[in-house]
Structure 1
Amino acid sequence: MPIDAPGYLDVHAHFVTDSYVRQARAAGHELPDGVPAWPSWSAEAHLELMDRCSIETSMLSISSPGIHFGDDTAARRLAREVNEDGADTVRAHPGRFGLFASLPLPDVDGALAEIAHAYDHLDADGVVLETNTHGTYLGNPDLEPVWAELDRRAAVVFLHPTSPVCWEQSALGRPRPMVEFIFDTARTVTDLLMSGTLDRYRNLTVIVPHCGGALPVLADRIDGFMKMFMPAGTEVPGAVEQLGRLYYDLAGPALPRQLPALLSLVGADRLLYGSDHCWTPAAGVEAHVAGLDAAAAPDGTGSWRALTTANAHRVLPRTAR
């Protein structure tokens, strides 16, 4: 790596707290999404990993299973708690961390209140939205006030997959992040396309995780069905065009196959780095960074490190200062 190479800006990084894990376990998430155990996390250990991998800044968010476990009041309280904890970490380590705030969806009033608190009091960099909450997907018309407020604030919206409501049958007893997360990402983005949400709210910057999940190979199929099944008189751009406006992180096994598939759908200016730490262990992050640093980047972009960091500074301009 050249000595003057920029540090990565990680848009897909997670934190957990003892209180959050305790409350999730009490709600039945002993083995979250079927993985063997909850990860441990501390800002100090995260920073040590970032320094080893030359990651300058990590945007922290709560991963699946999110913060709404069935009770609106408890979800509002937990959203406020984790957002305050994340903001404390950001303040304690200037320039090294940012925050994508959690919202207690599908509680619309609670989400609107937390958007205001996150932006006006915590100086959040954006919000994280799970792909569904108890079966409410992101194109649901009940969520329209939330999208309108996020659009008014020109928000960065980081999507994160979670288990679909049918996982007991569809996952076949296997960890849901393996396959279910990938398809739930495609499901909620398709819902946003078919509902017209992405076209109505063009002030948003939407980040799709894991190289777009299944979207690169499904985009043409979705595009064709949109043309056939959108309501009569509806005029919205096709799926392929709208997907080209979104941003995509490279978390997970991007190489050798998924990243080339994504580049057949979107330009290199839409790609961002993501580690998925702390759910991806340190050794996995180190291997992922080494693979990207060794791989050839698209012509004229220098390196994956330089390309994704420059893109991230456009999406999150405060990080460039």
Structure 2
Amino acid sequence: MIDCHAHYLSPRIFDRDLRSLKVVFHPAAKRFEFPGGTSRPVPDALTDLDTRSSWTEVNDIELQVLSPWMDLIGDDLPRQDAVAWCRLLNDTTASDIDPLAGFRAFAALPVGDGPAAAAELARTVETMAFVGGAIPSQVAGTDLDEANLDPLFEAAVSLDIPLFIHPFRVMAPQRLQRYFLNNVCGVPFDTTVAALQLFFSGAMDRWPGLKLVLAHCGGALPFIAGRARQASRVSPAIDRAVETPGEILGRFYYDTMLHDPQALGFAASKVGVGRMVVGTDAPFPMQIEPVVDHLHRAFADLPKDPDPFPMVTQTTPRNLLGLG
């Protein structure tokens, strides 16, 4: 199968001199410091491709697409530093995965500058083993529909590759500090908000060929698209009427990062297996395993024409990523 949601940081970056980039690495704490704050400690598993290769083999994953750890995306860096930082993340990742058949990557992008993000996307896709780009669900507190990302979207359409939306900052962080709710609620809910902002802002209409993959199965989107449709009919805040929930759901792709198989099965029935790809969130503790068993349980009650399992694990991701 092909896993479209996993993360990696090259250990090569620990040895680089980052002082000119306004990024500081604290080796004892294994944390990176950015202008807006300090990251969480870098997990050892995030930098270990040998262990990852063994894990993917056990879980029948033939190809894993590695995204940057969004904590380190550097969306609050000044433009020039953000460009250099993302290039460093991408170049070190490329050096690690180029010799390996089992990995590709989504590029880190300097999303604070749309044209620069577009240029980095083109550079990585055209010259290295990258099959798309990864962007946060908000850019240093600015919503995606107001972040001047049209140059990036234009580039993604021109290159015919996807952008993977994965949260880093989340809404209402003060309310979500306890009980790990920043992850349990904040991450999927911020994805939901970003998707609906892009849809209702008209971004998806301006770029009809844009392929956006939503992490964590789109958050709550498969479950509240009907509510969004009703809101489009009754609220003056929305200037377009949505006829069916599928009109919203059909504009995005979704990974399988739902921990309840029945909920995942419902989501698949709403968005369609032609819009769903495998996502494991490896190597973090919230990752789903064993992957194959989870998917079979999720798809057990779905129609078998087409068969959901090969569609989600092979056909849809191959079409999405241009792998044939």
Give the TM interval when normalised to the shorter protein: 0.7 to 0.9
Residues 293 and 187 of structure 1, relative CA distance in 2, 3 Å threshold: same
> 2:173 aligned with 1:180, yes or no?
no
Query: Who is 1:290 aligned against?
Result: 293
Paired residue type of 2:169:
S
Structure 2 CA distance for aligned equivalents of residues 304 and 254 of structure 1? 17
Which of 193, 203, 222 aligns to 2:199? It is 193
Residues 219 and 242 of structure 1, relative CA distance in 2, 3 Å threshold: closer
Query: Who is 1:13 aligned against?
Result: 6
Residues 200 and 57 of structure 1, relative CA distance in 2, 3 Å threshold: same
Which whole-Å deviations, capped at 9, do the CAs of 1:261-315 have from their partners, x for residues lacking one? Answer: 313421122111111101247xx54334332245526222586542212211221
CA contact (8 A) 1:211 1:254 kept: no
Which whole-Å deviations, capped at 9, do the CAs of 1:1-43 have from their partners, x for residues lacking one? Answer: xxxxxxx1000011023437937622233436xxx96744322
Aligned length: 303
Which of 299, 304, 323 aligns to 1:300? It is 304
Paired residue type of 2:74:
H
Cα shift at 1:181: 0.3
Q: TM-score, normalised by structure 2?
A: 0.83
Query: Who is 2:38 aligned against?
Result: 29
Paired residue type of 2:275:
R
Give the 5 Å matches for 1:1-321.
8-18=1-11, 19=13, 22=25, 25-27=32-34, 28-31=37-40, 39-72=45-78, 73-94=80-101, 96-140=102-146, 142-164=148-170, 166-167=172-173, 169-175=174-180, 176-227=182-233, 228-229=235-236, 240-256=246-262, 258-280=263-285, 284-295=287-298, 296=300, 298-301=302-305, 305-308=309-312, 309-318=314-323, 320=324
Residues 223 and 141 of structure 1, relative CA distance in 2, 3 Å threshold: farther
Query: Who is 1:4 aligned against?
Result: none
CA contact (8 A) 2:145 2:198 kept: yes
CA contact (8 A) 1:160 1:209 kept: yes
Residues 67 and 259 of structure 1, relative CA distance in 2, 3 Å threshold: same
Ranges in structure 2 where 5+ consecutive residues have no aligned partner: 15-23
Residues 90 and 40 of structure 1, relative CA distance in 2, 3 Å threshold: closer
Matched position secondary structure for 1:16: coil
Identity %: 25
Query: Who is 1:3 aligned against?
Result: none
Structure 2 CA distance for aligned equivalents of residues 158 and 121 of structure 1? 19
Q: TM-score, normalised by structure 1?
A: 0.84
CA contact (8 A) 1:16 1:41 kept: yes
Cα shift at 1:238: 6.0
Structure 2 CA distance for aligned equivalents of residues 41 and 240 of structure 1? 39
Structure 1 CA distance for aligned equivalents of residues 197 and 65 of structure 2? 26
Paired residue type of 2:295:
L
Structure 1 CA distance for aligned equivalents of residues 204 and 248 of structure 2? 7
Structure 2 CA distance for aligned equivalents of residues 301 and 50 of structure 1? 28
Cα shift at 1:45: 1.1
Cα shift at 1:63: 2.7
Cα shift at 1:253: 0.5
RMSD after superposition: 2.7
Structure 1 CA distance for aligned equivalents of residues 304 and 145 of structure 2? 37
Residues 254 and 245 of structure 1, relative CA distance in 2, 3 Å threshold: farther
Structure number with greater CO (CA < 8 Å, separation at least 6) is 1
Paired residue type of 1:31:
R
CA contact (8 A) 2:277 2:316 kept: yes
Cα shift at 1:236: 7.5
Matched position secondary structure for 2:84: helix
